Amino acid sequence: MSATILPGALVIYVPNHAHGWLGHKDCERGFVTAISIGRQCAWCRFWSKYDPAELRTRANSERCDYDNLVVVGKMAPVRMRAMEAEYGFKFYEDGDSLEAVASETEREV
């Protein structure tokens, strides 16, 4: 992990078999929608490798260990609100309960 992970962080997911190499073909670009400090993980959505303007993960966010995420930027709050409206999900602010995240995920599926 290269920086603080918070909702709206732009990240690259680096799978274990990539051994930290950001250029590996299995790395994915995305953003954090929620975090769990106690479990050292974040829920992320990822962009399609075939159409970078579209999300690959539309139905729900995916759980990722902090160790597999490299923060490369931060999404502007106005962009976060636009994404929520466009894709119908919510960024969970620091302090929101995991129960709220689970409840929201169940409704999205």
Give pLDDT tens digits along the chain (109 positions).
446 788 899 999 999 999 999 999 999 999 999 988 777 889 999 999 888 888 987 788 999 999 999 999 998 888 888 888 888 877 876 545 444 544 444 443 3
- pLDDT of 98 reads 46
The verdict on pTM exceeding 0.85 is no
- Within a domain: 73: yes
- Within a domain: 103: yes
- pLDDT of 97 reads 45
- Within a domain: 1: no
- Within a domain: 46: yes
Q: Which domain holds residue 39?
A: 9-108
Which parts of the chain fold into alpha helices (H)?
77-87, 98-108
- pLDDT of 93 reads 60
- Within a domain: 3: no
- pLDDT of 45 reads 93
How many structural domains is the chain composed of?
1
Q: Is 37 exposed, middle or buried (0-12, 13-18, 19+ CB in 10 A)?
A: exposed
- Within a domain: 104: yes
- Within a domain: 4: no
Look at residues 1, 7, 108 and name the one whose alpha carbon lies nearest to residue 59.
108
- Within a domain: 90: yes
